[in-house]
Amino acid sequence: MSLRIKNKELEILIPESNIKSRLKSLADEIRKEMNKNEEIIAIGILKGSFIFFADLVRELGSNIKIDFVVVSSYFDKMESSQNIVFKKDIEVDIKGKNVLLIDDIIDTGRTLKALVEYFQKKNPKNLKTCVLLDKKERREVNYDADFVGFEIPDKFVVGYGLDWGEEGRTLKDIYFVK
């Protein structure tokens, strides 16, 4: 029996073991480029990033503080941070801090670009972005994440936190919907 969501078949794209090993090298890249021993404020974009976030921050080791945002994923045609609708903003003060914004996937790029513009106004010392997955072909705005786990083709993916209509988040591997 094949795995299905909403009666569509799922095909494996990235197995759990590949994710786990990539997280180690990704954490090394991040620690090398952000100031090695200084505190990092890791901000997760809910809900899709929750599993990636939990695994990555543990690979990053000590001297990490965490916070989360919840934003509405609907944007109108104007590409400005005015259009971000926060359902939950951060609670920590990021002024003068090293900040790492973490999301599951960058697709059109609108979410990350708008959040970066918003957080830059709070004057962090350093603001970097990290995503597990990058659908480069789908970009609609001029923005790339600083750290990327895997580049993937233009396919709808689920698992490891990512959902399709709230289904599939707890799958351990990443699948595409056939």
Interface of this chain with ligand IMP, residues 45 to 64, rule: CB under 6 A: 48
Interface of this chain with Mg ion, residues 45 to 104, rule: CB under 5 A: 48
- Catalytic pick among 55, 103, 104, 107: 107
Cα(101)–Cα(99) distance, integer angstroms: 6
Is 161 an interacting residue with respect to ligand IMP (CB under 6 A)? no
Q: From the list Mg ion, ligand IMP, none, pick the one residue 162 interacts with, judged by a Cβ distance below 5 to 8 Å according to partner type.
A: ligand IMP
**Annotation marks residue 107 as catalytic:** yes
Nearer Cβ to Mg ion, position 48 or 124? 48
Cα(98)–Cα(109) distance, integer angstroms: 22
Long-range contacts for 59-64 (Cβ within 8 Å, ≥24 apart)? 59/23, 59/24, 59/26, 59/27, 60/27, 60/30, 60/31, 61/27, 61/31, 63/37, 63/38, 63/39, 64/39, 64/40
List, as one string, the DSSP characters of 25-85: HHHHHHHHHS-TTS-EEEEEEETTTHHHHHHHHHHH-SSEEEEEEEE-----SS-SGGG--
Q: From the list ligand IMP, Mg ion, none, pick the one residue 108 interacts with, judged by a Cβ distance below 5 to 8 Å according to partner type.
A: ligand IMP
Helix or strand (DSSP H, E) at 23: helix 16-33
Smallest gap, in angstroms, from Cβ of residue 171 to ligand IMP?
12
Cα(115)–Cα(46) distance, integer angstroms: 13
Q: From the list ligand IMP, Mg ion, none, pick the one residue 131 interacts with, judged by a Cβ distance below 5 to 8 Å according to partner type.
A: none
Smallest gap, in angstroms, from Cβ of residue 105 to ligand IMP?
5
Interface of this chain with ligand IMP, residues 73 to 112, rule: CB under 6 A: 73, 103-111
The residues of the shown chain that bind ligand IMP, judged by CB under 6 A, are 48, 73, 103-111, 156-157, 162
Write out the residues near Mg ion by the rule CB under 5 A. 48
